[in-house]
Structures are given as C-alpha cells and as structure tokens.
Amino acid sequence: MPEHVTLGPWLRRFLCEYIVTERNLARNTCKSYRDTFSLLLPFVSRKLRKPVDRLAVRDLTSPLVLLFLAHLEEDRGCSARTRNQRLSAIRAFARFIGSRDPAHVEWCGHIRAIASKKSMSPPVGWLTRSEMEAMLAVPDRKTRRGHSEYALLLFLYNTGARVSEATQLKVRDLQIGRGNGGYDLATLHGKGGKTRQCPLWPETERVLADKILGRPVDDAVFVSRLGTPFTRFGVYRLIERCAARVPELAERTITPHVIRHTTACHLVLAGVDINTIRAWLGHVSISTTNIYAEIDLTLKASAIAVCEVGQPRPSRSWKEDKDLMAFLKSL
C-alpha cells in the first residue's frame, strides 16, 4: 500500500513533527492527542478486522469516528467534554492531512463536519476558609513527611498552581529570603510554555525555605516520602487522603483543581479585581476567570439589594438648586 494512503506514516508525521515542531503545542496537549489515537486505532482495527499497521486513511470514516465517540461515552463512561476533546484531536489530524494531500480533501471535510456535543460546564467546586484550614491541619508537621505534605498543600492554596506546575517546580524557581521589603516569589511554568510569578505568604516562604535549604538548584521542591519528585497521581492521592480526614469534606470529591478554584474564590471575596486574578492563575483570557465572579452568594445578594424594587429613589436635588439652574442659563 502506498505510503501516502497508509494511516501510519501520516500519524507519525502528525505526532512527531507537526504538533511538536510546527505548532509547538504544550506537552500535555501532545500527550492528549497521542492518547486519542491510542484508543481510536485499536477500536477501528477491531471494527474492520484489519491490523493497525494496515489501516488506510480512508478507513477512518466519519461513521466509524461517530461510533468511536459513542463508545467513549457509553462503554468507557467519559463525559461529553472528554468526547469533544478526543474529537478535536481527530479533526486536527484530518486538517493536517487535507492541507498536504489534495486527494484527501473530501475525506477531511467529512471528518471535520462531525459536530461537537453540547456540554454543560460543571459548577465551580471550592472550599470555604474554615474547610481549607481544616485540610491544612491534617498533615502532622512534626514528622518529615507531614511537613512536606503541609508545604505542598500550602503552596497550592497560596499560588493557585495547577498540579503540573507544582510537580515541575524546581529549587531555582523560588526567590525567597530577600528581606528589605522585597517580595518572595515563585516562578511557575504553566500551559503552553508560559511562565508567571506569584508572591508567597510569609508562612509559605518560611516552610519552603526549610525545605530547600542546602539543596541543588535543579532539585524538585516537592518530594515524596521515597525521596522522588511528587507525581500528578501522588498529589491527587495526598489531597484525597487529607480531605477524607475532614468530616465536612468526607462525601465530596476534592482535587488539586478544587484548591485552585478555592484560591481564586478567596481572592474574589477579598475584593481583588478579576484581571489581577487572571494574571495570578495564568489564564490567557479573562473570560475564563469570569466564572469566579459568579460563585459567591454574598456578592449576588449585594447586587440584588442595589436594584431592589420599592427602594426610595434619591431626590433630584438639582431641580431645587435655583442658583445652579440660573448659572446654566447664563452661559
């Protein structure tokens, strides 16, 4: 089978050259695309009873893609958002082939015509100040392990860092112990290779200073009890374990992203403007941050009170100011 017809060479170029070199997409995006095709190709192979390495581009028909998307939701229990994420990777692959081989333009159009499914954004889950303090109190700070776990939880709450940003934090990314009124900072490496700096609370600075004292600059700041850098799974397990020890949180699903939401919501309640929160969290668009402007019932109640029906309106004092009206007429 000619190379331009076989699916494999196209997929190799797409994953190894196009999205990495030409598009320079984030590493997590590349992994998401890879995972999509790791699920899609065996599914198509089973349906067509054809080895994966013998699949042709045109074997990937729109009806088969729709069957695959249905399989994700019905058999694997994925949400509509996950389904749409997988579809976006398949569309990007079709666009890549269609833009380079005119013979596949029609096939590309059929794949890209598959519609995304409407999905509802889940409500923002966050913790009250007392709930967050209760979680911070769970690790036993008298032990080395508890001190390390407390430092990680406190850092996540202080900075609103994504879990990947916390696990990738190196000693050199911390600028602490400056004194003379300077700010202690953490440099976070976020999505798409973007970096940002977050100020640290005095308590966070104190805890982290103890952790990094005398360590090489290339060391990961947060390490597990085995002395290896924390993984994403390790951070999830830590937060899950601490939340289970707090009675108010026992029945709730608490993740690192819930703590990120908590940081944003507490900034909103403290009166920090939404654009500052956008920069704090590393959002590209302020529309992403606007969800936090809607989370607090106290703010909503204050807004309703301003426009409550039946409230006496202020008197129009300008009508009674004879001197002012005379002044205006004299101009």
Instruction: Using alpha carbons, select from 15, 18, 5, 3 the residue that is nearest to residue 40.
Output: 15
CB 191 within 8 A of CB 282: yes
What pLDDT, on a 0 to 100 scale, did the predictor assign at position 283? Answer: 83
Written as tens digits, the pLDDT of the chain (331 aa) is 555 688 999 999 999 999 988 888 888 889 999 999 999 999 999 999 999 999 999 999 999 999 999 999 999 999 999 999 999 999 999 999 999 999 999 999 999 999 999 877 767 688 999 999 999 999 999 998 999 999 999 999 999 999 999 999 999 999 987 654 567 899 999 877 788 999 999 999 999 998 898 899 999 999 988 889 999 999 999 999 999 999 999 889 999 999 999 998 888 888 888 888 888 888 877 777 777 766 655 555 554 555 555 555 555 555 555 566 676 666 6
Residue 77 tokens, joined:
């229990």
Catalytically annotated residues? 162, 191, 257, 260, 283, 292
Distance of CA 269 to the CA centre of its chain: 21
What pLDDT, on a 0 to 100 scale, did the predictor assign at position 180? Answer: 45
CB 59 within 8 A of CB 44: yes
**The tokens 């109640």 sit on which residue?**
301
C-alpha dihedral, 119 to 78 to 166 to 32, nearest 10°: -90
Alpha-carbon distances, residue 266 vs 150, 158, 206, 298 (angstroms): 19, 10, 22, 13
Strand spans (E) along the chain:
174-175, 185-189, 195-199
Residue 11 tokens, joined:
């997929």
DSSP sequence for 213-238? TT--TTSBS-B-TTSSBPPHHHHHHH
What pLDDT, on a 0 to 100 scale, did the predictor assign at position 186? Answer: 92
**The tokens 């923002």 sit on which residue?**
124
Rounded to whole angstroms, the Cα distance separating 40 from 72 reads: 10
Residue 21 tokens, joined:
């070199």
**In the CATH hierarchy, which fold is given to the domain comprising 129-302?**
hpI Integrase; Chain A (1.10.443)
Q: Is 60 exposed, middle or buried (0-12, 13-18, 19+ CB in 10 A)?
A: buried
Instruction: Using alpha carbons, select from 273, 310, 309 the residue that is nearest to residue 289.
Output: 273
Instruction: Using alpha carbons, select from 254, 235, 256, 234 the residue that is nearest to residue 245.
Output: 254
CB 116 within 8 A of CB 253: no
Whether this prediction's pTM lies above 0.75 is answered by no
- Adjacent-strand bridge partners of 199: 185
What pLDDT, on a 0 to 100 scale, did the predictor assign at position 309? Answer: 53
Domain residues of the chain, as ranges?
A: 7-112, 129-302
Residues recorded for the chain: 331
Instruction: Specify the DSSP class assigned to residue 291.
Output: G
CB 202 within 8 A of CB 156: no
What pLDDT, on a 0 to 100 scale, did the predictor assign at position 324? Answer: 62
CB 151 within 8 A of CB 174: no
Rounded to whole angstroms, the Cα distance separating 111 from 106 reads: 9
